[in-house]
Amino acid sequence: MRRYTHFLAGVLSAVIVLKGTNIKMMLLGGVFGVLQDVDVLLPVQHRSGLTHSLFSVILLPLPIFLYTHSPSIALIAFFAFLSHWLLDAMNPSGVMLFPSRKIIDFLKNHRREFRLASISYDDQIANLLFSLTILVGISLCIS
């Protein structure tokens, strides 16, 4: 999915965790929603296990909690990372579940291990529908 879709899913994560609105936390949720795509700046393939695996979804909130000492922020991060992973699992190339036996494969390569659908990341209609659905979810949570 496109980054704006991931951003909105991260915002929804914050609204759900906080059971309401807090602009700073909603923006932080949005940032967490796109954070996994930092792998495009690293010497690894996009959607490698380093950032796009169920393993990373579970582990990445831990250093955030250790840094912030905030269970709410760590939960926002977890749900934002999970939403990113699930949205990318709808991409034809899919996402990883857990590390392979060879750590270098896990960190550098992208195996097509888990896929929920086969929707192109730049499918504008799909991104629009997901985004609208997320916005409806946000509005239902805050009303």
Mean pLDDT of 41-51: 74
Asked if residues 46 and 40 have their Cβ atoms less than 8 Å apart, the reply is yes
Query: Going by C-beta distance under 8 Å and a sequence separation of 6 or more, which residues neighbour residue 72?
Result: 17, 18, 25
103 pLDDT more than 80: no
1 pLDDT more than 90: no
- Count how many domains the chain has: 1
Confidence (pLDDT) at 65: 96
Mean pLDDT of 83-98: 85
Q: What is the extent of the structural domain holding 134?
A: 3-142
112 pLDDT more than 80: no
Full-model pTM: 0.84
